[in-house]
Amino acid sequence: MSLINYAAKEIAKFDDDYKDRLKGLNELIAWKVGDDISFYTEIKNGDINGSEGTAPTNSTLTFEISDAEVALKILTGRQDINEMGDKIKILGDIGKAEGLNFILDTVKEYLGDLTK
């Protein structure tokens, strides 16, 4: 998750189309993996930043993922999030989650196959 957050931030420095898509967004996304892993991603004023730990305020979206193996499959694109059943819960507006999917897609495009 740290790598994805870092890549998302760095890509915004040189990919103008990506940065344009971030403009106007004001989102706080919490990621909870199992019982002891937490990250959050903040999108504000065209910038995107991620940090380890619990989100400092109420998040726009929260992804609760059952364990690290499931999270790795989802974040590397080896498993479709819609096929995970009760192993992942999305709290918040599902439409907003789908609209923000371009972030992960862009990171995967730049980083290639993260599973190798």
pLDDT surpassing 60 at residue 114: no
Please give the single-letter amino acid code of residue 24: G
Query: Given this model, what pLDDT does residue 115 score?
Result: 47
Residue 111's pLDDT band, with cuts at 50, 70 and 90, is confident
pLDDT at residue 26 tops 80? yes
Amino acid identity at 106: T
Q: What is the pLDDT, as a whole number, of residue 45?
A: 83
Residue 102's nearest CA partner among 3, 30, 12 is: 12
**pLDDT > 90? residue 14:** yes
Residue 105: predicted pLDDT: 87
The whole-chain average pLDDT of the chain stands at 86
Spatial distance between the Cα atoms of 85 and 100, rounded to a whole number of angstroms: 20
State the Cα torsion 80-98-63-61 to the nearest 10°: 180
pLDDT at 76 over 80: no
pLDDT (0 to 100) of residue 44: 92
For the chain, how many residues are written? 116
pLDDT tens-digit map of 38-69: 999 999 988 999 999 998 888 999 989 888 88
CB 80: neighbour CB atoms within 10 A?
Answer: 9
**d(C-alpha 102, C-alpha 11), whole Å:** 12
